[in-house]
Each structure stands twice: as structure tokens, then as C-alpha cells.
Structure 1
Amino acid sequence: MVMNVCGLLGWAGGWIALIGISTYTPNWVVWIFMPHFIYGFYRVFVQLTYFPWALRMRRVLRVYPWQVLKGVPSGIGKYPGARDDGIWFEFRSPADPGEKIPMVFIRHTRSYWWLRRMDGPRTNSVRRAQIEPLWFAGDPRYLAVIAAPGRGGRTPKRFHVLHQRPVFDRRCEPGNWTVDAADVELARRAGVPDPGAAVHSGVTGSAGNR
């Protein structure tokens, strides 16, 4: 959060400073600054959109403990039976280890770093090793925070929120995963608006998020 605030102030401050400088310089100087104006505006937007998700991460981490998972399947493209295309991780259901649950990167902001390290045709072993083992906190049937191992593997870094689409989109059909009353209560405390509407309680689902 501190780094994000610093980034926001830095990009916004630089944008304003260049506007001030450009008012006292010839018109052609503005064209030199134009790439920064455009990219700086984008970076300010990215920094601002991070804050609500940072608060959501905080709420999830208050409810679910970190797990350090090795060999988590991942990929780029279409997961069999999943609603969305994109980069994904495959997790095991807390209620049924035999039940596989994909979590697709629905929110693509800040996901490029992860994209370059997923199992894909252009991913090398060095990049893949940067997300092994994977830090995970949450419930794959609802939402979770993932992170890469930090220095020495003792702390997490590069936090990212993953969620099933029905969790925040009431228009989507609920997922068919096995859950119980305790799972629903934890999800509610973690910030899921209506856990009962996001997942059909007590129904054993298939491998996809349909």
C-alpha cells in the first residue's frame, strides 16, 4: 500500500510538473513530453484502481491463513469447462481434494507479471521458478489472494486477487462446488457479498466454473 501511494504521488506529480514546464517552453517541447503524459495518465489510473483491491486483500488475509503450495497446475488459454479464457491456476477444493477448481485471471490489471511466468509456450524454467512455490490464502470456490515467494521464500510478494466471476457478478450462474455452512460464513467474512448466491451450497461440481 505504501509503495502504491508513493507511485501514485510520483506519477501524478511528474505529470503535473511536466505540464507546468511545458507552459514555459516552445510548443515542440510538448511533443517530447507527450509519451509521458499518456503513460503517466494510465499509471495514475492503475494506481487508483489498486486501492479497493488492496483493501479486499486485507480482508481476505484476515480470514484465511497463508498456504505455501508446490506444483500448482497453471496455464494460458482455455481451461476445460471454465467460463472465461485467460491465465489460470488449478486448485483443489477444501471440501473434496478430488475436486479441481480453476481460478482464472478475470481482472487483468497488474497481471502481466504473472502472465510471463505461467505455464505457456514462451515461459522458461527461470521465470516459472519465480512463482514456485505459490503462496495462497483464500477459498478457490470464492476468492483468494495469491503471491510469489519473496527473498529466501519466507515472505510473499506480488500480491494478486483471484475470484470466481459469480462472486461479484450476480448475472452469472453460481458455481457448482461443494461447500458447507462454515465455508459460507468464512467467505462472508472475507468480503463475498452473498456466498449462497455465488455457489450452490452442498452440490458437488465438475472441473469447470460453469
Structure 2
Amino acid sequence: MNVPLTKTAYEDPATRAAWRRAAVSRLCAFLLSLASFVIWLYVVLLTPVWTLWVLMPVMFVLIHVAMLTTVKVSGILSLRRVLRVYPWRSFPGAASTAQNGTTRFSFPDPEHPAGRHVSLAYGNWLGSGYTFWIRKVRSGEVGEVWFAGDPRFLGVVAVPGPRRLVRVAQREAVDSRMPARRRGVGQEARERARAAGARVG
């Protein structure tokens, strides 16, 4: 499938549809995680007190799931922000599995496309091993990926189509506790990264 020839990824109708699907999916998961607490409380009230020994660990699992879905919902707007700045580009063979089991995406450095590559990691949190990008990359089912962004800062990765949108970022581009990247980035690239929501030096 060919990459859409638009100035930004979000100008492509299929990309906007993919973003809406991702937004609805994440919102539904978030609402279901909230509903699970109501069901848990209902079960607690209808069962003997001794069953709390079984139900309390379930509550901790529900809290963990609720935290993950909250993060995913809050990331919906940041996905769109990146897609409104950068166009899609196709990269066959960019996805691989790292030694620690996470997924690594390797893209050419925009300032040195012939020689240097920059890696972005995905999946270093509890439960990520069950996600699409960990399972399918590990099994070798993901060949070509689409990328919209600057790998020195952040971007959105997708299966050609696009499908399975996921945001990836360098830690210093999103974590205020770390110094922002200053070297090896031109002024235009810095401004685009800032417009996409990255921290820039």
C-alpha cells in the first residue's frame, strides 16, 4: 500500500478515520475500566466478608488497568498533534525485537539519512507484552511500517493503511526531568518538533 502524498499525515482521510477509531477504542476501554469498579463493588456487597481475600487482588489489577487506559485516553490528542505536523513515510524492516523483549523502531536520522539511524522503543511497561506491537513484531508479522515524526524526538508508528496507530518518543522529548536534546538538530526540525508537542532544547 502506498503512503499518502499529503503535506501532513492528518490531511489523509484514511489517517483521520484511523485516528477516530483509535480514539473511540481507547475511550471505550477507559469507560469499561471504570464500569469494572462498579461491578467489583457490587460483588463485594453481595458476597461474604471472607471473599475479600480473593477480591482485593482483583481490585489492584483493576486499578492497574484503569491507569493504563487513562494514559492511553490522554494520549489521543498528542497522537493527532503529531499527525498534523509530519507526513507519513514508509520504512520496511524498521521494527525489531530488542533483547529485553520490547519493540524497537529504527529510522534514518533526518539530518544524516545515509549513515545514521535513530531508535525508538515501545513496550517497557507491565502488560505491554500482550499488545499488538509486541506480539506481531516478535512473531515477524510486521514488515513495513509507516512513520510520521522525527525519530530524534517523537512520532506516530502505524501498520500500512494506516492501522494500529501508536505514539513513540525519546524520553528526553517528553520527560521534564531530563535535559532536552540540543545537539544535531537544525532550527526547522526543532520548530516542527515543538509544534508536535516535543520538548526541544
**TM-score, normalized by the shorter chain, greater than 0.5:** yes
The aligned residue for residue 65 of structure 1 is: 87
Q: Secondary structure at the match of 1:23?
A: helix
* Residue of 192, 198, 202 corresponding to 2:198: 192
8 Å contact from structure 2 (residues 102, 134) kept in 1: no
Q: TM-score, normalised by structure 2?
A: 0.73
Aligned equivalents of 1:61, 1:34: Cα separation in 2: 41
Count how many residue pairs are aligned between Structure 1 and Structure 2: 175
Residues 37-86 of structure 1 show CA distances to partners (whole Å, capped at 9, x for unaligned) of 222121111111123322211100111122232121534138xxxxxx95
CA separation of 1:184 and 1:53: change in aligned 2, threshold 3 A: same
Q: Secondary structure at the match of 1:69?
A: strand
Q: TM-score, normalised by structure 1?
A: 0.70
Query: Could you list the runs of 5+ residues in structure 2 that have no partner in the other structure?
Result: 1-22
8 Å contact from structure 2 (residues 95, 145) kept in 1: no
CA separation of 1:103 and 1:175: change in aligned 2, threshold 3 A: farther
* Residue of 30, 38, 42 corresponding to 2:60: 38
The structure with the largest helix share of the pair is: 2
* Residue of 22, 26, 35 corresponding to 1:13: 35
Residue 147 of structure 2 corresponds to residue 132 of structure 1:
no
- Percent identical residues: 27
The aligned residue for residue 13 of structure 2 is: none
The aligned residue for residue 208 of structure 1 is: none
CA separation of 1:139 and 1:111: change in aligned 2, threshold 3 A: farther
> How far is 1:176 from its partner?
4.0
CA RMSD of aligned residues (A): 2.7
**Equivalent AA in structure 2 for residue 3 of structure 1:** S
CA separation of 1:176 and 1:86: change in aligned 2, threshold 3 A: farther
CA separation of 1:76 and 1:56: change in aligned 2, threshold 3 A: same
CA separation of 1:32 and 1:47: change in aligned 2, threshold 3 A: same
The aligned residue for residue 160 of structure 1 is: 166
Residues 118-137 of structure 1 show CA distances to partners (whole Å, capped at 9, x for unaligned) of 4xxxx4xxx221x2211211
The aligned residue for residue 69 of structure 2 is: 47
> How far is 1:94 from its partner?
2.0
8 Å contact from structure 1 (residues 65, 137) kept in 2: yes
Q: Secondary structure at the match of 2:99?
A: strand
Q: Secondary structure at the match of 2:140?
A: helix
8 Å contact from structure 1 (residues 77, 87) kept in 2: no
**Equivalent AA in structure 2 for residue 11 of structure 1:** S
